[in-house]
A and B are shown apart, each in its own frame.
Chain A
Amino acid sequence: MPTEQERPTLWDKLRAFWRNTDWESNLIVPLAAIAFGLLAGSIFVLSIGKSPLAVYKAVLDTIFGSKRSFLDVIGQATPLVFTGLAVAFAFRTGMFNIGAEGQFTMGMLVAGIAGIKLHWLPGPLLTLVCLVAGTLAGGLWAAIPGWLKAKRGVHEVINSIMMNYIALYLTNTLVLSKWLREPGYQATFEVPRKALIPNFMGTTANWGIILAVLAVVVVYYLLWRTKLGYEIRATGYSPTAAEYAGINVPNRLLGALVISGLLAGLGGAVYTLGVKRRVFQLFGFTGIGLDGVAVSLIGRNHPAGVILAALLYGVLYRGSASIQLSTGVPKQVVGIIQACIIFFIAADEIVRFLLKRFSRKGEAA
């Protein structure tokens, strides 16, 4: 049994942290991947005869051009923190929650329904009810593929994608039904003002960011400071060893996917209450859940990394809106850049390979 050790000082802890962190894979490789991704995007910009520098300048000008557009970056990043966390959490259990998209959509929808239908509740309580309802909806949406994975061994990816489509069409069915639709709108009625999450200066940024940061802290604590976190990580790395250690593996798989869904659902609810105010008909996926995959990967599936990656995405999102106007480059170039960043992150061997090449050239010069 353990004996009392002398308590390590903060300095010891910091030193141990520095020593034990793999800086190359956690910092250098993601940064290089982003750089290479931007470089690859530049090639596409060049291919249509435009200047990539002008594009990046336009992005930076927009973001630092006004307080409002800077706030918009944060506003765009907020829902991505939730979906990014959701995906990261599932990755830690060895599962790929591409269903964050559908879970986010369900969170959006159900939070909206709760706000409209329970409008008689007092303000703060109504907000809380909406958030809880949206969160649970996301959890439920994840529980279905989670259950199929845990009990029937069906891979979660195809099922989650099917659930994404079902969420999409279910949303449209309900949004356009007599029960919810506001006449003259392709959307539901508005959620009562008293239930909304206040925003900053009329931008997309809102107090939901506090919830996002809180969620990051909770996820960090859960993963590395609790029994459940230990079990989830063990299951993710090696289900066979986890079983031997006495962990109920199917149960933990299901649990982790549900927690992941709760996070995405909460993100959807915050999005409705803080930004959209009502639920609109969808003409395709929101993309926020799908981008959660990229955010998680760029953030190295680490809660803190997710925040930084979400901010990067906020910049790309907000920037893309203005580059089309100011440079004539189609905003869709952002999608290409995103894909390239994921390529480089996923195949980090490429990045290591390229980095070695560059540093060797540097030595030769």
Chain B
Amino acid sequence: MKRRIDLNEKDIPKQWYNIQADMPKPVPPPLNPATGQPITPDMLAPVFPMNLIEQEVSTERWINIPDEVLEKYLIWRPTPLYRATFLEKYLGTPARIYFKNEGVSPAGSHKPNTAVAQAYYNKIFGIKRIATETGAGQWGSALAFACNQFGLELKVYMVRISFNQKPYRKLMMETWGAKCVPSPSPDTNAGRKFLAQNPEHPGSLGIAISEAIEDAVTTKDSRYSLGSVLNHVLLHQTIIGLEAQKQLEAIGEYPDIVIGCAGGGSNFAGIALPFIRDKIHGKNIHVIAAEPSSCPSMTKGTYNYDFGDTAETTPLLAMHTLGHNFVPAPIHAGGLRYHGMAPIVSRLVMDKLIEPRAYSQLETFAAGVTFARTEGFIPAPETNHAIACTIEEAKKAKEEGKEKVILMNWSGHGIIDLAAYDAYLSGKLDDYVLPDNEIQGLLKELEKYPRP
């Protein structure tokens, strides 16, 4: 039995897989909120180079990976596929669990798979400089690495609360030569507006996005780059699943279940789309997207869906579990809605090619700690959702006495996220409904915070 399955450099996939060629129903074009008309490629030209826009709308099944991109991929790819024998033993499961370790990239996650490709396409389009936003810094650091490889300038708008509290990602970006500023910043109209309201504004992902786009649109030879959600991002990530297919084939295995965590959908799509292609063509395979129960964008179960966008591309959530009468009408209408999922993934969920599942914060951290204590690697908190799902499926296989093959995308390591583990291990994240008297104390405490 092999515990680590490596792929030779020469066998790295030479093409990305575009599922838009095989989807039973196409993703409807996104609509311009101002006009209600479909967003056309030329409308995106101020922010993306045309070669990436072409990939965004392409329905070509296979897209060649340029040699220059492959050359950079070889810095860390092909990534190893591991058999999680210690986790299997701990769970006492007959399932064979495999995980694709995307944490071995320079930035520590799957993100460089698209960052490198995007940097390359910008470069050959004549772009000199990229602007982007980042939350906790995972995307910003991946793009900083990629831009450095291709000699591009990069400016990263990092949400201020994160900029102040997570210095290591910022330092990674700066080490790779990027300029990282806290958002809101004084460098853009959008940033100045928020700073005028509150000079200590903690920032938000929304503000950082606005700043990065404004920067790209108003600076010569600049474009914007995004690390999730868009079709071309998912396309670049398919190298994960394509490699995994070759690695499993080499040992005579094929998965019964494929699992990935899904925030914006890119790492999930990376592992899953090549297998969904097989499923579309008749393979019996179960594909599961594991998302946080706190901001579910796909999960059914106890929730009802509605469709908030006119294109009906993204399932949105109505929060009936909190009680219709209990919730003020405006909250009931959209209080749990989150709209961050990739349209391709949403469409595949609606076509029942993907099963979405939601996991709570506590169960994901518990799964992450179990993984670290068996397999050794400390996962990124997002990755823990996929691990929670994998453990659930492995236990189910045990109950059923079935030797299932489970493939999971281990999307990144958590070495720079240890504060979250500290909070979990010290019991600070426990789900705990406060008694009334404690709520009163809490509310009093909140009086010191700024009010609208």
Q: Do A and B share a complex? A: no
Binding site for A on B (CB under 8 A): none
